[in-house]
A = this chain, B = another copy of it.
């Protein structure tokens, strides 16, 4: 199995790695997200991950954003690659419950609400426009935009959005056992809410408009990431799993160019997600990264191979970037092992 599933037809000179942080209150629903030691702690993971990537350790809180079983956050992988490349990523705050401890390009959004109760992202159209503004700024100097995300619970909002777009897709999970039934039940409940509102004469908005679909059942990251990608002038590569497929699908529905997507083989190999088939449906070219965690010599990373975590905060994209910027597979694996051992 090669490290990269294909060679991209571009070699960037001035790449920018932007990581959109966001929350959805769905991550606090027990059983939805493994991106944190407990459901309540998942909401802090974007802030802790960004601190870890920037400083190499977490000083602001006394716990780590690991899974309940102690599997290390994928931020360790992103940190290792940024150190190897001497790069500083740009964190974008799309809407968080907690103030970050490192600088973020802030669009001044709010955390996504529980879409079963009401609109998840009331300001979706405005956040999209602010994302476009970020894309315009980045277009001035960068020739490649690698766009990642960190939204605990975000595969569930991605599922609601894919369903809203009429795409019969599944999504992946940070759990070994994807809580598919729970996610489906949430999306069905959202659909019922919209239908009940419409029956009562409450207009739900044009539910054919991709941004209205985010408003109803998405999360703030989706609105902002779609806006950034829609206005960035250079090459865009979406770094992530099924959440980034939702971003690609939204861009297609908006009539924009569909970017490539890069993710890990652990997402590809999740039988509950059907990643490759969904990518084909959407028309997104996909690059897969296989860092060979089974033999890397770290039990926490080896658990990625049995389906825990799998991907997150642009980890797959970070390894992809290191490779296309000329780092060898050996350098990449050595950097990963050094960083995860010190974590």
Distance in angstroms from A325 CB to nearest chain B CB is 12
Contact with B along A96-113 (1 / 0, CB 8 A): 000111111111100000
> With a CB–CB cut-off of 8 A, which chain B residues contact A88?
133, 136-137, 139-140
**Are B141 and A90 in contact (CB-based, < 8 A)?**
no
Q: A14-B140, A87-B140, A136-B88 are in contact. Are A99 and B103 (CB under 8 A)?
A: no
Q: Does A310 contact B (CB under 8 A)?
A: no
A131 nearest in chain B by CB position: B103
**Are B108 and A99 in contact (CB-based, < 8 A)?**
yes
Please count how many residues in chain A sit with their CB below 8 Å of the partner chain's CB atoms: 27
> With a CB–CB cut-off of 8 A, which chain B residues contact A99?
108
Q: Does A180 contact B (CB under 8 A)?
A: no
**Are B103 and A134 in contact (CB-based, < 8 A)?**
yes
> With a CB–CB cut-off of 8 A, which chain B residues contact A243?
none
CA distance A101 to B16 in the complex (A): 24
Distance in angstroms from A90 CB to nearest chain B CB is 6
Question: Which positions 134-171 of chain A face chain B at CB distance < 8 Å?
Answer: 134, 136-137, 139-142
Q: Does A278 contact B (CB under 8 A)?
A: no
Q: Does A215 contact B (CB under 8 A)?
A: no
Q: Does A93 contact B (CB under 8 A)?
A: yes
A101 nearest in chain B by CB position: B108
Q: Does A173 contact B (CB under 8 A)?
A: no
> With a CB–CB cut-off of 8 A, which chain B residues contact A14?
14, 140-141
**Are A103 and B105 in contact (CB-based, < 8 A)?**
yes
> With a CB–CB cut-off of 8 A, which chain B residues contact A139?
88
Q: Does A130 contact B (CB under 8 A)?
A: yes
Distance in angstroms from A235 CB to nearest chain B CB is 15
A55 nearest in chain B by CB position: B133
Q: Which of the residues B87, B106, B140, B142 comes within 8 Å of A93, measured between beta carbons?
A: B106
Selected A-B contacts with CB under 8 Å, 19 pairs: A16-B140, A54-B133, A87-B140, A88-B137, A89-B137, A90-B137, A99-B108, A101-B108, A102-B130, A102-B133, A103-B106, A103-B107, A103-B108, A103-B133, A103-B134, A104-B108, A105-B105, A105-B106, A106-B106
